């Protein structure tokens, strides 16, 4: 069997209500570093390099979740509506028609476990293929297994999954739990989804019952034991959301520290997982970096800088305190050291952006965002405002306190300052 086939499918369960989030928003659209939980799962599935398409099962806030998938993942996802929600097994039955002809593996996962890694999904499928199993359950060993389904084994191997609410005292002692992620040979296992019953404590059609079903049919059922339990951390509340953000941040910071980036205070530093940073860059305390960014080598970021995504910074750049950057490119050896907002901009190399420089990129009446271009060697004085769209030519200078509303030629000075008046002995006259 070809263990590298890349045409497996995924089913991502995301119809549940998420009552404990106490929110009008769908649970899976809550964000970590400005990215919805569901997007983390879809990205992990896509990056596993083994799955080419995902069905997303939606129910609560179905419209918003469908719109999100359609907008950001139109080629690789489709949503299927599950109403009412009668359980995880019932949810999977909504793709049975779509996959009638499909003869390959289907990976089933949940939309509320954003920390799952692409590599782990790939390992699950590879293990499944190598062992020639019909069904592989991802399991994990938890010191406190409460609330999870327990993996029940006998001398022949995996026998069943029993939910907490249906478990006997003896079964509750089992520390191996069901992670809620499965790989199944679709042709062999899919008939289970029309045969499951809801004869249990919750009156739901449990996906977990497919284990017993497969064992009874004499199919090969096995498990894949997770190495890092954090990966299946499920979000059910705002507390969990904060905890998951922290876990992800710690992982990200550890990776950067190992790659030669100096992070002075990991506890007050927040870096989104999609931020690349070059070696010997120093990140000072209280920096918040969200979205997708690329920071070069030998840069100095912070303290108190905010990078909001789509920021590209070349080598030897300084971003100082109370500087906010969004959707901008900054070339090497440029300084933006204090109190500036730079958005929708391209700044050349060797520039000095003076304290308090603002790129006024947004027109609140037309809602249009415009671009600022500052070419190599140009400088802006303190407290200058650049009203986009505008271009500052090479080595151009904008005087402190000036407002730039039209393009500035190379090597020229722009100045809108009113002349200084000096009133002698003013204090005495009062
Ligand atoms: C499930 C497993 C449990 C496992 C745990 C891991 C079952 C019966 N139990 O329990 O063994 O240890 O996950 O986290 O599967 N959903 C739907 N439609 C439904 C019901 C649920 O789409 O009708 C979705 C939910 O939105 C959620 C996921 O399925 O994303 C899991 O459902 P949930 O009710 O949270 O199952 P658990 O009780 O956590
Ligand atoms: Ca759950």
Active site residue 338: yes
CB-CB neighbours of 247 under 10 Å: 17
For ligand 1, whether the C-beta of 90 sits within 6 Å is yes
Tell how strand 157-162 and strand 150-154 pair up.
Answer: antiparallel
Question: Which string of DSSP letters, residue by residue, matches 156-215?
Answer: TEEEEEE-GGG--HHHHT--EEEEEEEEEEHHHHGGGGGT----STT----TTHHHHHHH
CA of 236 to the centre of ligand 2 (A): 7
CA distances to 2, 308, 321, 339, 388 from 355, in Å: 60, 19, 10, 6, 18
CA-nearest residue, atom 36 of ligand 1: 88
For ligand 1, whether the C-beta of 110 sits within 6 Å is yes
Q: How many CA atoms lie within 13 A of 425 on its CB side?
A: 2
3-state helix, strand, coil in the chain (%, to 5): 25, 30, 45
Domains and CATH numbers, the chain: 8-232 (3.90.550.10), 238-414 (2.160.10.10)
Q: What's the confidence (pLDDT) of residue 4? A: 75
Burial level of 98, CB count in 10 A (0-12/13-18/19+)? Answer: middle
Residue recorded with tokens 């002692």: 173
pLDDT bracket for residue 3 (50, 70, 90): low
pLDDT bracket for residue 5 (50, 70, 90): confident
CA-nearest residue, atom 35 of ligand 1: 16
Phi, psi torsion values for 173, nearest 5 degrees: -75, -15
**Considering only CA atoms, which of 277, 305, 270 is closest in space to residue 32?**
270
Question: Residue 138: in which H helix or E strand, if any?
Answer: strand 135-141
Q: At what angle do helices 118-130 and 37-47 cross, to 10 degrees?
A: 50
CA of 383 to the centre of ligand 2 (A): 51
CA-nearest residue, atom 29 of ligand 1: 13
pTM: 0.95
Question: Residue 255: in which H helix or E strand, if any?
Answer: helix 238-258
Q: Which two tokens stand for residue 105?
A: 């593996």
For ligand 1, whether the C-beta of 137 sits within 6 Å is no
The tens digit of pLDDT for each residue in 315-353 reads 999 999 999 999 999 999 999 999 999 999 999 999 999
| pLDDT at residue 277 tops 60 | yes
Q: Which two tokens stand for residue 159?
A: 């026998």
CA distances to 262, 360, 417 from 343, in Å: 26, 8, 24
Contact between 224 and 137 (Cβ < 8 Å): yes
Q: Which ligand is nearest to the CA of 14?
A: 1
Angstrom distance (rounded) from CA 207 to CA 25: 26
Best mutation site among 11, 14, 16 for ligand 1 pocket (most ligand atoms within 8 Å of CB): 16
Q: Which two tokens stand for residue 32?
A: 């970590």
Q: Which two tokens stand for residue 247?
A: 């876990």
Angstrom distance (rounded) from CA 376 to CA 82: 56
Q: Which atom of ligand 1 is nearest to the CA of 60?
A: 26
**Considering only CA atoms, which of 241, 179, 182 is closest in space to residue 29?**
241
* C-alpha dihedral, 85 to 87 to 91 to 94, nearest 10°: -80
For ligand 1, whether the C-beta of 397 sits within 6 Å is no
Q: Which two tokens stand for residue 65?
A: 């979740």
Question: Which string of DSSP letters, residue by residue, matches 47-101?
Answer: HTTSEEEEEEEEBTBHHHHHHHHHHH-TTTEEEEE-SS---HHHHHGGGTTTTTT
Q: What's the confidence (pLDDT) of residue 1? A: 54
Angstrom distance (rounded) from CA 301 to CA 285: 9
Contact between 272 and 290 (Cβ < 8 Å): yes
Mean pLDDT throughout 42-59? Answer: 97
Look over the chain and give the mean of its residue pLDDT values, rounded to a whole number: 97
Contact between 329 and 295 (Cβ < 8 Å): no
Mean pLDDT throughout 46-62? Answer: 97
The tens digit of pLDDT for each residue in 84-111 reads 999 999 999 999 999 999 999 999 999 9
Mean pLDDT throughout 287-305? Answer: 98
% of the chain surpassing 90 pLDDT = 97
Mean pLDDT throughout 283-296? Answer: 98
Helix (H, G, I), strand (E, B) or coil at 242: helix
For ligand 1, whether the C-beta of 181 sits within 6 Å is no
For ligand 1, whether the C-beta of 207 sits within 6 Å is yes
Best mutation site among 92, 180, 223 for ligand 1 pocket (most ligand atoms within 8 Å of CB): 180
For ligand 1, whether the C-beta of 206 sits within 6 Å is yes
CA-nearest residue, atom 17 of ligand 1: 15
Q: What's the confidence (pLDDT) of residue 300? A: 98
| pLDDT at residue 2 tops 80 | no
314 CB-near residues (< 8 Å, 6+ apart): 296, 330, 331, 332, 334, 349
CB-CB neighbours of 129 under 10 Å: 20
CA-nearest residue, atom 26 of ligand 1: 16
């Amino acid at each position: 069997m070809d263990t590298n086939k890349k045409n497996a499918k995924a089913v991502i369960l995301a119809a549940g209500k998420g009552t404990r989030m106490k929110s009008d928003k769908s649970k899976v659209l809550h964000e970590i570093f400005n990215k919805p939980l569901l997007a983390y799962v879809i990205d992990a599935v896509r990056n596993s390099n083994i799955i080419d398409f995902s069905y997303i099962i939606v129910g609560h806030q179905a419209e918003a979740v469908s719109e999100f998938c359609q907008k950001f993942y139109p080629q690789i996802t489709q949503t299927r509506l599950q109403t009412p929600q009668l359980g995880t097994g019932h949810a999977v039955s909504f793709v049975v028609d779509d996959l009638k002809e499909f003869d390959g593996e289907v990976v089933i996962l949940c939309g509320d476990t954003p920390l799952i890694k692409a590599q782990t999904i790939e390992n699950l499928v590879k293990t499944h293929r190598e062992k020639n199993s019909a069904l592989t359950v991802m399991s994990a060993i938890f010191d406190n297994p409460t609330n999870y389904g327990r993996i029940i084994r006998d001398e022949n191997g995996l026998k069943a999954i029993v939910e907490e609410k249906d478990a006997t005292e003896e079964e509750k002692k089992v520390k191996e739990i069901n992670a809620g992620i499965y790989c199944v040979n679709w042709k062999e296992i899919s008939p289970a989804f029309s045969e499951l019953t809801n004869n249990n404590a919750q009156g739901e059609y449990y996906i977990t019952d497919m284990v017993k079903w497969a064992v009874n049919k004499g199919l090969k059922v096995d498990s894949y034991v997770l190495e890092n339990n954090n990966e299946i951390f499920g979000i059910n509340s705002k507390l969990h959301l904060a905890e998951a953000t922290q876990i992800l941040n710690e992982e990200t910071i550890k990776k950067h520290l190992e790659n030669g980036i100096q992070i002075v205070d990991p506890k007050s530093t927040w870096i989104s997982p999609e931020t690349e940073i070059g070696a010997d860059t120093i990140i000072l305390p209280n920096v918040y970096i969200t979205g997708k960014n690329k920071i070069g080598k030998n840069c100095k970021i912070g303290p108190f800088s905010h990078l909001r995504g789509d920021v590209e910074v070349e080598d030897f750049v300084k971003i100082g305190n109370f500087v906010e950057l969004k959707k901008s490119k900054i070339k090497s050896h440029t300084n933006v050291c204090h109190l500036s907002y730079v958005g929708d901009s391209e700044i050349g190399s060797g520039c000095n952006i003076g304290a308090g420089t603002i790129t006024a990129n947004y027109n609140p009446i037309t809602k249009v965002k415009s671009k600022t271009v500052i070419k190599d060697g140009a400088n802006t004085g303190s407290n200058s405002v650049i009203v986009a769209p505008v271009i500052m030519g090479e080595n151009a200078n904008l005087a402190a306190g000036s407002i730039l509303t039209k393009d500035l030629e190379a090597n020229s000075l722009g100045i809108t300052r009113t002349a200084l008046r000096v009133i002698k002995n003013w204090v005495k006259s009062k």
